[in-house]
Structure formats: structure tokens, C-alpha cells
Structure 1
Amino acid sequence: MNRRFLLAALLATLAGCGPATLSTLDGAARLGGGPARVASAIPYGDGPRQRLDVYAPRGGGAARRPVVVFFYGGGWSAGSRGAYAFAGRAYAGEGFVAVVPDYRLVPEVRFPGFVQDGAAALRWVRENIARYGGDPARVTVAGHSAGAHIAALLALDPRWLREAGVDPRVVRAGALMAGPYDFLPFDDARSLAAFGGWPRPAETQPITYARRDAPPLWLATGTTDTTVRPRNSEALAARLRAAGASPTLKFYPGRGHADLVIGLARPLRGRVATLADSAAFLREHSR
């Protein structure tokens, strides 16, 4: 076997790892250097899953840094902030103060419980992030899959932040990866469990709230994604443009659903440029 083949085999193996394994490998790859988790399990609500971690570049500095709040995926029924430490470190490595919150999951809650938790996490950020070197006037959101759905609703439907006592304009921009934004009718077990009991299904769909004054959104999708098909990102981008907004639609040829988020992990960044691309977008719109 030649070196190139061995490297390809190793990357393929890593690509099949779960997020917790990727976080472990990502941490090991840094060998103690780079950005650090500066706060762990900080409560933003009363429940055991209403906790968040904060990551920041090492060295601090006098100037406050832009902030990104990253919402992980898991079909609204799985996931943990610890498993996505690699995402927090990734964005902190790009110069952001990064926040990774847990949120309540199905079956503990149904829609809109997890969106309300996202709004509460943003309220905490607005009120507290300055003590960790973040700029509360430069807050952005990011997310993958179900986390992109949550981030999209927080960016587009102002009611959730208003109900949490936060000005909806707190969200300066969003970098959303492989998100479901237009998935009516509910036709699988996960969407039925999360949204099937809501009496007005259109209210669960980010596309419903496309508007001219929406914050800038970067909508990324893999062309071979069969879990959340590219049409979700295409439809939301088209609706936003029809409303007069200017979203950025990014296709990653030959990439599937998980590829976009595992590209944030240090061992696999060569597979897909989601970190560099999303960080550049958020940085541009949080100046």
C-alpha cells in the first residue's frame, strides 16, 4: 500500500466516527495548544440540559472578540455539548468566542421547547459573554442539521427571542449547515415526534419566516445529502431572495450530511472547507 492510499483509508475511517470520538481526536491533535474551553456546564436555565460550554482563543487580549453560538444536530432527540467540543474549539481557533449549549430533547419536550432553549442560551450570551472576552454586540449563530433548524428559527422568527426578553437583532448572521428548513408534511418518525403535535405546522418551518430584513445567512449543503436533502437550503435561499434578502447558498459537491460538520474537526478539515468558509462569512458580518 502506498502512503496516499493509507491516508485515504484513515480519513474514511475517521469520517465514520461519531462526534464524541471526533472531539477526542481533535483534542489530541492539538497536543495542549490552541483554543481552550474556558467555562463548562454554565447554567442558562433551571433544567439539567440547560447548560453551555464556552471556548476562547488562548492569550485573551484587550479587544472583545466576535461570538458564535453553535447548535449541534441529532434529530431534536440526541446530542450533547461535550461531544461537539471540536466545534467549539474550531470556531475559537478562528478568533471567535464560541458557545456550545445543550438543549432539551424529544421526548422531554416537543416543539417549541428546544427553540425556546436556544433563545434562552442567546439571552445568557447577551448578558454574560463579555466576561469571557466576547462582544455582546457581535453575536452570530451556527448549526448543523436539527441545530441549523433551531438557529434558523432564532434568526428568522423574532418571537422566540422577544419571548426570552432579547432584541431579535442580537443575531448578526448565521452559518447553517445541512439544515431542514422546508420539510412539510412530516413524514418520518423524528419530525413527527418533534413537531407532529403542533397545531399550526407552518410555524415550525424556517422558510415561513423568510423576510427582507433577515440577518445574512450562509446556507451550506452537500450535493449527496440524503438525510436532509439540498432542496431545503435551495428553497430557503430562493424564498429569502424573493423577499429581498441576499443569502449565500453554498454547495459541497459529493459531500453528504455528516461531512459538513465533521469538517470542523481538526483531523478532517481537508475533506470539506466548512470551517474556513463559515468562519469567513460570520467574521465578515460581525464587524
Structure 2
Amino acid sequence: MISRRLLLAAALPAAACSPLDIANGLTPGGGTALRPGIPYAPGERGRYDLYTPEGAGPASPLIVFFYGGGWTSGARGDYGFAARPLASLGALVAVPDYRLFPETRWPGFVEDGAAAVRAILAGPGTGRPVFLMGHSAGAFIALALALDPRWLGPAREALAGAIGLAGPYEFGPEDDPRGIFAGSPARRARAAPGSPEQLAGTPPLLLLQGEADDTVRPAQATRLAALARAHDVPVETRLYPGLGHIGIVAALASPVRTLGLEGAPVLEDVRHWLQGPAPRRA
């Protein structure tokens, strides 16, 4: 049944139905309640969607998922295909929007992420283990909030962990032709703080990366993992042979997994990691 629906969807004109539309349209919605557009800051970009799985209790974990898009594109409503499978793990899932270039530059989108996380910690995340997660540009935001205390301040201590999917955790001006990070020190973008001593208090990390990713090289994950280990931050890394930049987030989608096309057990690895040692709680 799913394969037939995929074939029908593939026959639709591209202008009428994007790959995200197809992924979301084929992702089962049963068993998960959606509360859209919860405000955390002024403006339409200052909102998040909250997915609550059936049977969730007051101690169920909550994942804050930041989508990618090079800090220039993306919308929370396009990521139900990722949020619903994550909710199937028994976790509430919040998907915030954040301001994009050219409306803002660094550190505006990181500050938006921090504002969203503070609001979620004080709201649906109260009393729960709260994990940050992101793909690509969203992984930069999630890991910056987990690694660098200047963004969340004392609220960082409430985080239970952070998960990065194919994140560009450090790059220079040669990788930033639009000047999105023009205001960063020496125009070098880093998720980690400038002083490694500030890594103290970083929650456990899970870094997932495709070895065939030619957008964000695997060295991004391995270098950050080495930095974390050197400063006693708990970190696990998974490198997936043959998996590319989009494939690592597409692997979360239910129709992709149903057809055995995910290429790597991304969702299962997230599940096992979440079920690991007792996490910190808010």
C-alpha cells in the first residue's frame, strides 16, 4: 500500500507537490497529537509546533528539533515527517521556527533557538528530560546551545543531551560567501565556545554523520567528538557508510523506513541512545 502511494505521489507535477509534501503526506499521523504555532517570541518566526504521542506521561522526554536549510530556508510545518517518527519513540517533540538570513545573521538564529528552548523548558519541558536535536544548520544551533554557555546560561544545566545530524560545527569565511556569519569572531563559525574550559557542564552528545556526505564532511563530527572527549564531555559518534547529507534526515521518515530505503538505522540509534544511562532532568 505504501509503495503504491509513493508511486502515485511521484507522478504528481513537482510544482504541485514537493518532496517534503510527499514525505509529510505519507507519514502516519495516528497516535500523535499536534499543537501548532505556540509562541515563544514576537512574530511569525517566533513559534513552535508541539507533537505529543499517545500515552505520554509527565516524565516522558521532550526533543527540541531544529531543522536545516543553510540558515536561509525552512519552516516548522514541513518537518512532521521527522517529528512524528521521533514522537513514536515516546518523546514529545517541539519544532521551532527561527529567523533566517537575510532577516537576521549570526547570532540571531542561535539567540532565537535559545529563546525557544527557554520557553519550552519553562512550559511543556518542565520536569522532563529535554534533548536538543538538529539537522545540518539546525544541528549547528542545537549543538551551540548545548556546548556554549553564553546562549542559555544556567538553563543549559537542565538539558539532558544533544543530538547532531550532519552538522557543520566549524567553518571559516571561505565557506560563508553570503556573510551570514560576518559578525562572528574572525568570521569563523564555531558551535563550541572559544575557550574549551567553557565546555564544562555540556550534556551528553550523540553525533550522527553520513560518510558519503559531500555537503558537510564527516570530519566535522569526528573533530567535534575529539574536542568533547578531550574535555570529558560524554559523546558517541555514528558514521554511516554510503549515506549522504539529505539521506540522514530522510532516514527518519516512516515511508522511507517502511520500504527499507533509509540506508542507516538513524531512528533506532536515537532510540537506543535516549534509553541509555539516566539523563539529567529539568
Q: Under TM normalisation by the shorter chain, which class is it?
A: 0.7 to 0.9
1:173 and 1:286 in contact (8 A); partners too: no
| Aligned twin of 2:37 | 41
> Mapping of 1:87-102 within 5 angstroms?
87-102=82-97
| Aligned twin of 1:19 | 20
How far has the Cα of 1:171 moved from its partner? 1.6
Query: Are 2:157 and 1:195 aligned?
Result: no
How far has the Cα of 1:256 moved from its partner? 0.3
1:262 and 1:268 in contact (8 A); partners too: yes
How far has the Cα of 1:56 moved from its partner? 0.9
SS of 1:159's partner is helix
How far has the Cα of 1:198 moved from its partner? 3.0
How far has the Cα of 1:184 moved from its partner? 2.1
How far does the alpha carbon of each residue in 1:81-140 deviate from its partner, in whole angstroms, 9 at most, with x for none? 0100122211111100110000000000000000011111111111110xxxx5544111
| Aligned twin of 1:278 | 270
2:56 and 2:90 in contact (8 A); partners too: no
| Aligned twin of 1:3 | none
SS of 1:279's partner is helix
SS of 1:36's partner is strand
Separation of aligned partners in 2, 1:91 and 1:279: 9
- CA 1:22 to 1:193, structure 2 compared with 1: closer, same or farther past 3 Å? farther
How far has the Cα of 1:19 moved from its partner? 2.8
SS of 2:179's partner is helix
For 1:241, which of 229, 254, 260 is the aligned residue? 229
User: What code does the residue aligned with 2:267 have?
Assistant: L
- CA 1:114 to 1:60, structure 2 compared with 1: closer, same or farther past 3 Å? same
How far does the alpha carbon of each residue in 1:196-218 deviate from its partner, in whole angstroms, 9 at most, with x for none? 2334434x302445535421111
| Aligned twin of 1:147 | 138
256-265 or 276-285: bigger deviation: 276-285
Separation of aligned partners in 2, 1:66 and 1:59: 12
| Aligned twin of 2:171 | 183
Query: Are 2:76 and 1:81 aligned?
Result: yes
User: What code does the residue aligned with 1:19 have?
Assistant: L
How far has the Cα of 1:60 moved from its partner? 4.2
Separation of aligned partners in 1, 2:243 and 2:85: 20
SS of 2:214's partner is coil
Structure 2: unaligned runs, 5 residues or longer: none
**How many pairs were matched up?**
262
Query: Are 2:51 and 1:55 aligned?
Result: yes
How far has the Cα of 1:152 moved from its partner? 0.5
| Aligned twin of 1:262 | 250
Separation of aligned partners in 1, 2:277 and 2:51: 20
Separation of aligned partners in 2, 1:286 and 1:114: 31
How far does the alpha carbon of each residue in 1:57-102 deviate from its partner, in whole angstroms, 9 at most, with x for none? 11444x4311110000000010000100122211111100110000
- CA 1:197 to 1:256, structure 2 compared with 1: closer, same or farther past 3 Å? same
User: What code does the residue aligned with 2:170 have?
Assistant: D
Separation of aligned partners in 1, 2:19 and 2:107: 27
Separation of aligned partners in 2, 1:24 and 1:239: 40
TM-score, normalising length: structure 1: 0.84
Structure 1: unaligned runs, 5 residues or longer: 1-5
Pairwise CA RMSD: 2.4
TM-score, normalising length: structure 2: 0.85
Separation of aligned partners in 1, 2:79 and 2:69: 11
How far has the Cα of 1:280 moved from its partner? 2.3
**Structure holding more helix per residue:** 1
Separation of aligned partners in 2, 1:238 and 1:59: 38
